[in-house]
Amino acid sequence: MHLAYPAVLSALLFCTGLYGVLARRNAILVLMSVELMLNAVNLNLVAFDVWLSKTAEETLHSGQALTLFTIAIAAAEIGIGLAIVLAVHRNRGTSDIDKLRDTAEGPGPDGSGSDLPDSDALTAEQAEKAEASA
Measured CA to CA, the distance from residue 93 to residue 85 in angstroms comes to: 11
Of the two residues 32 and 50, which places its CB atom closer to another protein in the complex?
Answer: 32
Q: Contact between 23 and another protein (CB under 8 A)?
A: yes
Q: Contact between 103 and another protein (CB under 8 A)?
A: yes
Measured CA to CA, the distance from residue 108 to residue 94 in angstroms comes to: 27
Distance of closest approach, residue 46 Cβ to another protein, in angstroms: 24
Measured CA to CA, the distance from residue 54 to residue 34 in angstroms comes to: 31
Q: Which of 55-63, 67-75, 85-93, 99-107 is the region at the interface with another protein (rule: CB under 8 A)? A: 99-107
Question: Do residues 45 and 63 touch, judged by C-beta distance below 8 A?
Answer: yes
**Residue among 134, 132, 129 nearest 25 (CA):** 134
Q: How many CA atoms are closer than 13 Å to the CA of 66, on its beta-carbon side? A: 15
Measured CA to CA, the distance from residue 79 to residue 54 in angstroms comes to: 36
Annotate each residue in 106-125 with x if it binds another protein (CB under 8 A) or - if it does not, as one string: --x-x------------x--
Distance of closest approach, residue 103 Cβ to another protein, in angstroms: 5
Of the two residues 33 and 42, which places its CB atom closer to another protein in the complex?
Answer: 33
Query: For another protein, which residue of 1, 22, 112, 133 counts as binding (CB under 8 A)?
Result: 22
Q: Which residues bind another protein (CB under 8 A)?
A: 18, 21-23, 30, 97-98, 100-105, 108, 110, 123, 126
